[in-house]
Amino acid sequence: MRPLAGLLLSGCAVIGGPDYYKNTPTMELCRQYLTLPALNVNHPARARELARRGESCGSPQDVAAAQRAATQQTLDTVQALQPPPAPPPRVCQWQTNPNGSGSMICR
């Protein structure tokens, strides 16, 4: 039973030192700060990192709007990288002239 208890407790451990969130993007820090419970053991570390940067997360709606804008920007970039659509196929048909000769007309 003891190994199981150790495993369960290790899942609640603090995941890093004071610099753990140094390279985490502000939007991700804010998302975690605003959506994870304040009882989360890493909540104070996120708050300290945001304060060190002088950042404010605003409301959850602000974070959601920023995430939507970033997603739209990514979609626009992917769309811009797509090749242009292929031209429609040419349609050809045989056309008979009044004198009996004919020619192929393609559009």
The residue with tokens 């970039």 is 77
Residue 8 has pLDDT above 50, yes or no: no
Report the Cα–Cα distance between both ends of the chain, in Å, rounded: 80
- Read off the pLDDT of residues 32-56 as tens digits, 9 standing for 90 and up: 888 788 888 998 999 999 999 998 8
Cα–Cα distance for residue pair 86/20, rounded to 1 Å: 49
Instruction: Give Cβ neighbours of residue 16 (< 8 Å, ≥ 6 apart).
Output: 45
Q: What was the pLDDT predicted at 10?
A: 46
1 assigned to some structural domain: no
- Read off the pLDDT of residues 97-106 as tens digits, 9 standing for 90 and up: 888 788 888 8
Cα–Cα distance for residue pair 29/95, rounded to 1 Å: 70
For the whole model, what pTM was predicted?
Answer: 0.47
Q: What was the pLDDT predicted at 19?
A: 84
Q: What was the pLDDT predicted at 14?
A: 57
Query: How far, in Å, are 11, 33, 38, 82, 105 from residue 88 at the CA level?
Result: 58, 52, 58, 17, 16
Domain that holds residue 72: 13-106
Domain count, the chain: 1
3 assigned to some structural domain: no
